[in-house]
Structure 1
Amino acid sequence: MSLPNALRSPFLRWGVLALIQLALIAVPLADRLQVQMKGQEVILNLIPVDPRDLLRGDYVILNLEIGRVPAQLLKGGVGLEPGDTVYAGLEVTDSGAARVVRVTLTREEAGPLAIAGTYRSMSGGELNIDYHIDAFYLPEGEGKEIERLPAKRIQVVVAVHPDGRALPLRLLVDGKAFKSDAAF
C-alpha cells in the first residue's frame, strides 16, 4: 500500500509533526487557564520552606494546613486505600481562610466548594491528603524573603474549579498580595 502523493511531501510531514508538538504543549496550558478562569478563589493557610530550582528560580514549598484532616470528617470511607481520590469540602471561616468540613469519595457529596486530593495515609487520627499544590515559584532571590517570615503570616490563594482541581494564584503576607504565580 503506498501513501497518497500529498503525504509523501516532507514539508507536510514536518508540518504535521510540528502541530502535534504544539498541541502537546498547549494541553497543560489550556487546563491551567480553565481552572484559573472558572475556579473560585480560596485562601489556604500554609507552612512555607524555601528551596531552589535551577531552571525556574526560587520556590516556596506549600505545606497546606488542610493536608492533615481529622479522620472523623471522612464520610463513607470504608475501604479507603492510599492513592484514592478524595474531595475535601471547604468552608470559608470568619478569618477568610478556608477549612475542611468534610472529606468524601465523590465530588457531589463534598458540597458546593471542594478541592480534590489524593489520600496518602492515616496517622494519629488524621488523614494525610495531597492536593497536588506543591510549590509556588518566585523570581530569583525572593524566596529568602518568604523563608524569614513566620509561617502564620503567610497564606496562599488558590483557584478551585467546580470539578475539584486547584491552582495556586498568589501568596499573601499579612493578608496582602506578595507575588502572583498566574500564567495568564
Structure 2
Amino acid sequence: DVTLRGCKRRGGAVMTMDAMPAPAKPSLRMPYLRWGLLALIQLALIALPLVDRLDVQTSGTVVHLKLVPVDPRDLLRGDYVIINLEIGRISRDLPGGEDVRTGDTVYVGLKRTGDQAAEPVLLAKTREEAGDLAISGTVRSVVSNRLRIDYGINAFFLPEGEGKAIEKLDVNRVLLEVSIARDGRSLPVRLLVDGKAFRSDAAF
C-alpha cells in the first residue's frame, strides 16, 4: 500500500493540499454593514421620542392648566417660557394625599368645567384609581402640608424674539394647553393668552 501524505481524497480523485481552495477572506462589506446597523440604531433612538410625542398628541385629552409666576418679575428666560404649573403645588389634604411620599409616582385626577382650567380633585398611586382624566408626575418634595410634583413639563420654547410679547403679561391671563394620554403622559400643546392661542408647541 502507498501512504499518501499531504493529500486529501475528494470523490474518486486524490487532491494534494496545494491544490485545495484557499480559506474564504472576510467580506469587504462587513464594515459597511456594521456602520449601517449603528446608523439604524441612532435613527431609532431619535425616532422613539417623536413617536411617543405623536402618540400623546393624537390620542390624548386636551385640557387647560393654570400657571403661577416663577418669580415676581416675569415668565420669560431667553426664548422659552418657564412652565410653573399651579398643580405643581398640591395640598396634602386632597383625597389620597396622606399616603404620598417623596419620590413616589402619582396620578393627579383632574376635573374640567367648560373652558375653564382643570382642577385637581384627588391623588392616586395607580392610574386605575385616579379617575377618567389624570396626569402623572413624580413627587419631588413634601413640605409642611404641600406636595411639590414634577410633571416633566418645564419649558415652552418660542421662536427667537417672540418672547417679548408675553414677557410683560399678567400670568393670570396665560394658560397652558396640555394633551394628556390615557396612561397619564402629557405634553404641552399651546400657550393661550386671554383664552386665545398664542403659540403652538405641537410636535406635528
User: TM-score by structure 2 length?
Assistant: 0.80
Q: Highest CA radius of gyration, 1 or 2?
A: 2
Letter in 2 for 1:149: L
- Are residues 1:93 and 2:124 paired? no
Instruction: Measure the CA separation in 1 of the matches of 2:27 and 2:200.
Output: 47
What corresponds to 2:183 in structure 1?
163
List, as ranges, runs of 4+ consecutive aligned residues in structure 1 with deviation greater than 3 Å. 4-8
- Are residues 1:14 and 2:35 paired? yes
Q: What is the aligned-residue identity percentage?
A: 59
Q: How far did residue 162 of structure 1 move? A: 0.3
User: CA separation of 1:7/1:133 partners in 2, compared to 1, >3 Å: closer, same or farther?
Assistant: farther
Instruction: Spell out, residue by residue over 1:45-102, the C-alpha distance to the aligned partner (whole angstroms, 9 max, x if none).
Output: 10352112xxxxx100111011111111141743x33121000000013452100000
Instruction: Measure the CA separation in 2 of the matches of 1:138 and 1:76.
Output: 35
Q: Which runs of 5+ in 2 are unaligned?
A: 1-24, 70-74
What corresponds to 1:43 in structure 2?
64
What corresponds to 2:147 in structure 1?
127
What corresponds to 2:45 in structure 1?
24
Letter in 1 for 2:81: V
Q: Which has the higher strand share?
A: 1
Letter in 1 for 2:76: D
**CA contact under 8 A between 2:102 and 2:142: conserved in structure 1?**
no
What corresponds to 2:54 in structure 1?
33
The residue matched to 2:110 in structure 1 has which SS?
strand
User: CA separation of 1:95/1:24 partners in 2, compared to 1, >3 Å: closer, same or farther?
Assistant: closer
CA-based RMSD of the aligned residues comes to 1.8
Letter in 2 for 1:16: L
User: TM-score by structure 1 length?
Assistant: 0.89
Q: How far did residue 134 of structure 1 move? A: 0.6
What corresponds to 1:139 in structure 2?
159
